[in-house]
C-alpha cells in the first residue's frame, strides 16, 4: 500500500510542476482552466479522486472551504 501512495505522490508532484508551467505560459489563466487541466492529468495517469474535483481558488475564493470554480464564475489569476 505504501508503494501506491509513493507513486501517487510522484504523479501529483509532476502535475503540480506542470501547473506552474501553465501559469508561467498564461498569466491570465482561470481557476476553472487550472482545475480542468489537473483533472485531465489525473485521467492521463489513471489517478482517481474520491468524488469531488480539485479545488482551485484565487483571492477571496480561497477562503471558501467548499468552493469549486465554474466556467462562468471562475476568477483569473492576477498579480
pLDDT in tens, 2-29: 898 899 899 999 999 999 999 999 889 9
* pLDDT tens readout for residues 26-71: 889 999 999 999 999 999 998 888 788 888 999 999 998 888 999 9
- Tell me the C-alpha distance between 38 and 41, whole Å: 5
How many Cα neighbours within 13 Å face the side chain of 72? Answer: 0
Query: SS3 of 35, please?
Result: helix
Instruction: Give the single-character DSSP code of 46.
Output: T
Instruction: Report pLDDT for 65.
Output: 86
**Residue 79 cell numbers, joined:** 498579480
Amino acid at each position: 500500500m505504501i508503494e501506491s501512495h509513493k507513486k501517487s505522490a510522484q504523479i501529483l508532484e509532476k502535475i503540480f510542476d506542470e501547473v506552474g508551467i501553465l501559469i508561467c505560459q498564461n498569466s491570465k489563466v482561470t481557476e476553472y482552466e487550472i482545475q480542468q487541466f489537473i483533472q485531465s492529468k489525473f485521467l492521463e495517469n489513471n489517478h482517481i479522486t474520491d468524488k469531488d474535483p480539485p479545488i482551485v481558488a484565487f483571492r477571496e475564493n480561497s477562503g471558501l472551504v467548499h468552493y469549486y470554480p465554474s466556467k462562468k464564475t471562475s476568477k483569473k489569476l492576477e498579480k
